[in-house]
Amino acid sequence: MVDTRSTPTLQLFSLRYSYTLSPAQLRKSKSSAAGGTPNATLNIQHTRKIFSPANLLHPRASWATQTCASDLSPEKARDGSRTARDGVCLVPQPSASPDDPLNWSLTKKNVIFGTVCLASFAGVASVNVHQLAYIRQASYYHKSPVELSYSIAAGVAGQMGGPLLFVPLSSIIGRSSLIFWSLFGSLASNIWAPLMTGPNDYIPFVMSRMLAGLFGSVPPILATGLIMDLYFLHQRGKAFTVLEVSLLAGAVAAPVFGGFIADTKPWPNVFWWLVAVIAVSIPLGMATRLSKFTCLLVFAAFFFLEETAFRRNEESEPLPQRPSSFMSNRIATFFPGTAVVPRTTVAHIANRYITPLKIGLSPVTMIVGFFVVCIYGFAVGLGIVVSIFLQTPEMVGGYGFTPNQNAEFNFSQWAGLVLCQICGAFLNDRIPLSISRRRGGAWHLEYRLYPIFLVAAASPIGFGIFGAGIEYHLHYMVLALGTFLVIFGACYSTPISVNYIIECFKNSPLEVAVIMNVYRQILALALPFFLFPWEGAVSAGWLFGMMAFFCVFATMLLGVVVWKGPALRRWNLEKDATEDGIKIISSDRSSDTSLNN
């Protein structure tokens, strides 16, 4: 037994407990590390959070390099694997190296992930921040509000094309560097847009929105790789939900802020707050408007992002040794070169451009992708056109809302996001683990999809209510209820679907995220061009009613994946490793039904 009073120790901090391990216990050999947890004295005590600037900024500080206590257990499973509380096995098993991201503290993991989520929020917000300013903005360009909605479509096109173009470059410069420099592209595009105020500036304005989508799409795609690197299997459901909420928060919150601003200020002002969020302390030369703000996102990215790649098997390329000093580490991480990633070949980069297509054409991806097209694509389409319905004058069948009233209406979407976050945090991991526990403790990928069916009716009912409200010109609160249900259903179901496909191609998370992003955005890109002709052909009620029926059909197809998933996965065009069949619940705890992770 180790006497921790006389031995230098390293603290492992979590939200509830801290475990004390000696340095010698952390330096276990590779063979013993593969077997389980070090035989250490574990002192459980009240948490003392250490969050000083020195601890935060130093890449080798103890807060940053030790395994979080919530992922450890004082016991080993009977097969020798390391487990979390309640007998949930850690998948993948962490190595003995302090450089392994799985061994980093929960604080460091969440700071890195939170920074990327904030960047994802800003990237999505860049595309539709002016959504509630359509009516005011149209007069500047002598265009109709529908033509102004094409600027949203241009941004969505950028969101689709950006990952296809940029993500393979992460093999050359690293993920963190790609995120960091994409923020400067977002910054430039959001400075360009509000300067386009002349009557002939419509096309340049639309181009600025396309570039905003192009650069803003990078952080949310690369965030999926960070989730797979940083979190264990039993934590990924929560992480993907948080990422999805940050994306839809950008789509929902940005128009609300823009609407409040556009109601009292000229429309170019709706962009300046977002410029401040992305990065404001960088000397931009636009001083008078921006000097009041402080740096936020670029500052956070520079200080907190780290490359999370780790070599987990002998087949992987060796990683370069990362500098230990803070400034050297930042230079190696963010400036061009291969200082934090292994050198690659042209053939490897070309393969990364092809792999998303092979994944996207696999049967299981096509079925789940069609579900995402319907659930998410129609929801985004509703968000694009709802402001047109609401701000159209009452004399021609609209509701005569001002931008300020439209922004207040959009709080119904906020309510859907809040409910999604609550349900995702409590259900997205618990339900699959509970099913696994009841079926002998083995993990099967299709368990991940079960929570979707709890809320499968939300989106179809929401579209039906919204369509009826528009058709019969019901009270705007009826529209708010329909919008709430649609946003909740889309936000809850989409991250689970993406998580499932990523786990079907475990070693290619970025490529999966790229192609699933295409499925998410393709309908949102096309809808503005045919939505109103569609409405003219069938009426508003049947327009949204047909969306509801498409969602029901897509959910039925998803049931086929749950039923025949293993057979469908055998037809995948891209063969990849999975965690299917792995023991996730240790046999000595399989009878315990409580889940506290």
| CA pair distance 204, 390, nearest whole angstrom | 27
Closest CA to 49 of 99, 3, 5, 105: 105
- In this prediction, the residues of the chain whose per-residue pLDDT falls under 70 are 1-81, 84-87, 277-301, 303, 309-320, 326, 336-340, 587-597
| CA pair distance 364, 295, nearest whole angstrom | 43
Q: Give the pLDDT confidence score for residue 316 in this predicted structure.
A: 60
CATH of 106-310+324-394+414-569, one of 3.40.50.300, 1.20.1250.20, 1.10.287.110, 3.30.70.20: 1.20.1250.20
Q: Give the SS3 label for residue 469.
A: helix
pTM above the 0.85 mark? no
Q: How many CB atoms lie within 10 A of CB 492?
A: 29
Q: Give the SS3 label for residue 13.
A: strand
Residue ranges per domain, the chain? 10-70, 106-310+324-394+414-569
Residue 497's identity, in one-letter code, is: S
| CA pair distance 88, 100, nearest whole angstrom | 20
252 burial level (CB within 10 Å; 0-12, 13-18, 19+): buried
| CA pair distance 416, 409, nearest whole angstrom | 13
The DSSP secondary structure of 422-454, one letter per residue, reads HHHHHHTTHHHHHHHHHTTSB--GGGGGGGGGG
Tokens of 558: 């998803």
The DSSP secondary structure of 272-338, one letter per residue, reads HHHHHHH--SS--S-HHHHTTS---HHHHHHHH--------STTSPPPPPPPSSHHHHHHHHHSSSS
**Half-sphere exposure for 3 (CA within 13 Å, toward CB):** 2
Q: Give the SS3 label for residue 342.
A: coil
Q: If residue 46 lies in a helix (H) or strand (E), which one and from where to where?
A: strand 45-46
Q: Give the pLDDT confidence score for residue 195 in this predicted structure.
A: 87
Verify cis geometry, omega within 30 degrees of 0, for the bond prior to 92: yes
Pairing of strands 17-21, 10-13: antiparallel
Contact (CB, 8 A) for 558 and 368: yes
Q: Give the pLDDT confidence score for residue 60 in this predicted structure.
A: 42
Q: If residue 11 lies in a helix (H) or strand (E), which one and from where to where?
A: strand 10-13
Question: Which backbone phi and psi does 197 adopt, to 5 degrees?
Answer: -110, 0
Report how far apart, in Å, the C-alpha atoms of 577 and of each of 356, 357, 503, 518 are.
Answer: 16, 18, 9, 23
Q: Give the SS3 label for residue 52.
A: coil
Q: Give the pLDDT confidence score for residue 31 in this predicted structure.
A: 40
Q: Give the pLDDT confidence score for residue 244 in this predicted structure.
A: 87
Contact (CB, 8 A) for 207 and 153: no
Closest CA to 132 of 331, 347, 410, 361: 410
